[in-house]
Structure 1
């Protein structure tokens, strides 16, 4: 069965649990852009706890704007800031150096549209995970799709469905304890080649 999700910025672990456990992935690209979602934010584990990485976007004056039409506000040096934050958070993690060369170019390339950038991040992460998944994009928006596992609810950063994922060792565990469902980057830098096994062994709790 197909799995339907929103393309997001370095997706949450919940997103990648859904991705790793499907044969066919469909990206929702015909929805309206909403604030305070994972479309333009990711959470990582910094020295002071949960840290938000937010991509600035240009909001339309219209009431509604299609996700695929939303542009990144590249006047802000957000890429440099995000990369420095990742270095600070994960340079001592077991596998940061292992993936650094593949990820750093994402923080140096200029992309106009947030959707395009998120899809590029997705491609890079699947290469790091050595995860082969067939993908397609929606052509129309459907409120209730048929014959599809609809995981679009995972896009909401502020009203998340709690997930019961197994803990793994994080860099600052001894400071703040285990923080679940961060960006896939947290799992990748801490678990490395074992990350895919972890994802395939977890289950999503639906609303």
Structure 2
């Protein structure tokens, strides 16, 4: 059985969705400590200037180790407005941005207190946009070793994710060429519902 253990992340990378669509069952890691500089609070998109990182600011904790599910978002800097503007600049001319725009815009107009809650809501929104149904299990305690799972928790750390994907048409291909394994939004806005066929053609 292909049972995977994976992190909920901020608009997950395409490789996350390749893994989830191939899995027999999916379990979200809910009990780990938060790690900075990972896709838990960042995503990568294809901007007019090339690859662009969008980062959610988080409130600093006095505790040395803070659980991911306890991390609070710092909402004083207008990050949501900036992120949506960046998505518009990147994808306004893509084939499917306008089709999905009204599905995603309310997310950027709503204040979330906890990062995990935001990422779980994003997961549901993206699944709906793709037209797929994924019902994950959730961990109730943390284990370093997980013999009953294929451990894909490392995919939350983009630097450890070496997945190579087929090319598809991106908005600024002619400027910067194909950029591999961006946020699922890049695939969705460029391919629409055909994104699911694309994901199913891949293996990790």
After TM superposition, is the score higher than 0.5?
Answer: yes
What residue number does 2:188 align with? 188
Q: Which residue of 1 aligns with 2:82?
A: 81
CA deviations 1:57-104 (Å, max 9, x no partner) are 012111100000000001110000000000010000000011111111
Give the TM-score taking structure 2 as reference length: 0.97
**Conserved? CA contact 2:59–2:71, under 8 Å:** yes
How much is the aligned-residue C-alpha RMSD, in angstroms? 0.8
Q: Which runs of 4+ in 1 moved over 3 A?
A: none
Equivalent residue for 1:175? Answer: 175
Aligned 8 A contact 2:164 2:181 in 1: no
Please give the alpha-carbon distance, in whole angstroms, between the structure 2 residues aligned to 1:134 and 1:21: 14
Gaps of 5+ in 2: none
Q: Distance in 1 between matches of 2:25 and 2:198?
A: 19
Q: How does 1:126-141 map to 2 (within 5 A)?
A: 126-141=127-142
* Structure 1 unaligned spans of 5+: none
Are 2:47 and 1:57 aligned? no
TM-score, normalised to structure 1, is 0.96
Residue 146 of structure 1: how far off its partner (Å): 2.2
Residues 116-164 of structure 1, C-alpha deviations (whole Å, 9 max, x = no match): 000000100000011111211100111111221111010113x223212
Q: Which residue of 2 aligns with 1:72?
A: 73
The match for 2:200 is 200
Aligned-pair CA distance for 1:187: 0.2
Alpha-carbon distance between aligned partners in 2 of 1:200 and 1:148, rounded to the nearest angstrom: 21
